[in-house]
């Protein structure tokens, strides 16, 4: 894909909505297009985390290996969403395994490249971190709801 | 005080009188939820209901439980109730067999205001067994599909095996031009669909917020977060309707067991416009 096409693709991704042209140029140097076939493993728990994905289409499942029960899927990430932030936080290791639940296209951003740019350009770094913080906040809220097991909750009020 | 007692249901002379009905079919939707199809017999003619209304289902010698009607309101003769086995009455119902007789009185309560959605997009958001009282809405909308723009069903369940009406969910999407998105809290590797909370599905649909009418039913905590999400996306609060569930006992506004703030759910609910109950949803005491 040409640089021009990649720029357009980046601009269209909701994670980068409102990103300045200057920051977009900075980001572009770390970006490439990737495609994963159904059931392809994108990364594995414990491996070095060096990529940040902006999902364009398809669906990625995050799995945890549950001894005795096999892999459990605990979350999916779909079009317009982002996959992975372990590339940002030391010791840069994945905490989950990611598998393409269906054929998936994404923009891969090189984690080390991105870290270096965040460090050398604090404005760019703050913008990226702010966007990631919003994603983390909404994922944390969703995880809290999942922990409630709300569909299994029966209050004494309705126990008949 | 005006009109404390709920209106007498259509075709019923004594609202406290149960009618015997025959169990025609029992379908287990998952490990603890089943759908009873009831043969209404002689009562089929006079019995009319609106989507969102409920019946009091009576197991003789055991007790009554308020159960939403989950079948197509345009079909007479047979009536579906999808029931979660959680207590004495529902466990007893779960042990019934085809041909057994149970008691039924109703229908009671308010209904989903389907006319409010004409010419607009409709977004149905449900969780767990909350899909049951919304199923008659889907049937009604599908029957007059041209009157609405987009119809979107967002449905969340605990796991793939816990989902209700799995065959119908596919049918709605394939045959009725209904955008159907299903998510579960957890799944195994064979599940290719979404995993996460139902509110996360809003990321995959582009709502024309001002032109959307939303119907929400599920656990109260799920409805609270769904309402927050709808508000965040700009859906006007008077376009949002919720179905509440409390301890419905008499169903006709006598006993007060179902009191929810200043309202009785059996009388003014279970379906409420959001502005009516929004302040109550924030009150811990309620």
ipTM over cut 0.90: no
B55: helix, strand or coil: strand
Confidence category of residue B262, pLDDT binned at 50, 70, 90 = confident
pLDDT digits (tens, 9 = 90+) for B195-207: 999 999 999 998 9
Average pLDDT (B238-255) is 88
pLDDT of residue A65: 86
Q: Strand pairing of B151-157 and B179-184? A: parallel
Contact B270/B244 with Cβ under 8 angstroms?
yes
User: What is the predicted pLDDT for the residue at A159?
Assistant: 47
SS3 track for A21-81: HHHHHHHHCCEEEEEECCCCEEECCCCECCEEEEEEEEEEEEEEEECCCEEEEEEEECCCC
* Distance from C-alpha of A83 to C-alpha of B195, rounded to nearest angstrom: 14
Provide the whole-model pTM: 0.90
Min Cα–Cα distance to chain A from B142, Å: 27
Higher pLDDT, B284 or B234: B234
Distance from CA of A121 to the nearest CA of B (A): 30
Is the pLDDT higher at B97 or at A141? Answer: B97
Quick check: B189 and A70 CB within 8 A? yes
pLDDT, averaged across chain B: 91
Please, which residues have CB within 8 angstroms of residue A24's CB and are 6 or more apart in sequence? A7, A10, A11, A16
Q: Identify the closest residue of chain B to A145 by CA–CA distance.
A: B197
Longest dimension (CA), chain A: 63
Instruction: Give the nearest chain A residue to B217 (CA atoms).
Output: A151
The pLDDT of residue B9 = 57
- Examine the pLDDT at B1 and tell me if it is beyond 50: no
Read off the DSSP letter of residue B281: H
Return the percentage of chain B with pLDDT > 90, whole number.
73
Q: What residue of A is the nearest CA neighbor of B224?
A: A145
Of B135, B53, B54, B62, whose CA–CA distance to B100 is shortest? B62
**What's the mean per-residue pLDDT of chain A?**
90
Name the token pair of B186: 């957890």
Confidence (pLDDT) at A153? 58
Res A28 pLDDT > 60: yes
What pLDDT is stored for residue B2 in this prediction?
Answer: 44
pLDDT band at B101; cut points 50, 70, 90: very high
3-state secondary structure A1-23: CCHHHHHHHHHHCHHHCCCCHHH
- B4 has a pLDDT exceeding 60: no
pLDDT of residue A155: 47
Q: Per-residue b/e over B201-224, b at no fewer than 16 CB within 10 Å?
A: bbbbeebebeebbbbbbbbbebbb
The confidence band for B3, taking pLDDT boundaries of 50, 70 and 90, is very low
Arithmetic mean of pLDDT, A74-100:
94
Q: With an 8 Å Cβ cutoff, are B197 and A142 in contact?
A: yes
Whether the Cβ atoms of residue A79 and residue B204 lie closer than 8 Å to each other: yes
């Amino acid at each position: 894909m040409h640089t021009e096409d990649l720029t357009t693709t980046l601009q269209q991704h909701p994670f980068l909505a409102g990103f300045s042209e200057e920051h977009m140029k900075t980001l572009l140097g770390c970006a490439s297009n990737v495609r994963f076939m159904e059931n392809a493993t994108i990364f594995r728990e414990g491996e070095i985390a060096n990529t940040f994905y902006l999902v364009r289409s398809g669906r990625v499942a995050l799995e945890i290996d549950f001894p005795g029960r096999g892999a459990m899927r605990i979350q999916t990430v779909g079009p317009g969403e982002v996959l992975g932030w372990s590339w940002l936080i030391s010791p840069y290791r994945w905490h989950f395994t990611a598998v393409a639940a269906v054929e998936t296209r994404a923009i891969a951003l090189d984690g080390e490249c991105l870290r270096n740019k965040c460090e050398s350009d604090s404005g760019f770094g703050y913008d990226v971190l702010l966007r990631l913080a919003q994603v983390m906040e909404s994922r944390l809220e969703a995880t809290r709801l999942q922990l409630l097991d709300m569909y299994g909750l029966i209050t004494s009020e309705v126990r008949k | 005080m005006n009109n404390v007692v709920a209106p007498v249901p259509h075709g019923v002379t004594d609202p406290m009188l149960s009618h015997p009905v025959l169990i025609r079919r029992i379908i287990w939707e998952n490990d603890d939820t089943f759908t009873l199809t009831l043969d209404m017999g002689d009562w089929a003619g006079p019995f009319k209901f609106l989507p969102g209304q409920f019946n009091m289902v009576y197991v003789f010698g055991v007790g009554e439980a308020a159960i939403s009607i989950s079948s197509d309101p345009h079909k007479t003769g047979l009536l579906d109730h999808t029931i979660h086995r959680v207590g004495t009455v529902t466990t007893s119902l779960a042990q019934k067999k085809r041909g057994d007789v149970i008691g039924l009185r109703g229908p009671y309560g308010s209904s989903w205001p389907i006319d409010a959605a004409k010419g607009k997009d409709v977004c149905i958001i449900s969780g767990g067994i909350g899909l049951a009282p919304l199923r008659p809405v889907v049937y009604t909308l599908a029957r007059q599909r041209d009157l609405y723009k987009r119809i979107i069903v967002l449905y969340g369940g605990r796991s793939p095996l816990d989902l209700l009406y799995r065959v119908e969910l596919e049918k709605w999407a394939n045959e009725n031009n209904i955008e159907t998105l299903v998510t579960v809290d957890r799944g195994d590797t064979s599940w290719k669909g979404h995993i996460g909370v139902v509110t996360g599905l809003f990321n995959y649909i582009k709502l024309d917020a001002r032109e959307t009418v939303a119907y929400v039913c599920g656990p109260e905590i799920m409805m609270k977060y769904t309402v927050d999400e709808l508000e965040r996306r700009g859906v006007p609060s008077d376009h949002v309707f919720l179905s509440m569930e409390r301890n419905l006992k008499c169903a006709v506004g006598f006993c007060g067991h179902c009191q929810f703030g200043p309202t009785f759910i059996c009388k003014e609910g279970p379906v409420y416009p959001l502005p009516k109950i929004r302040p109550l949803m924030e009150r811990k005491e309620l």
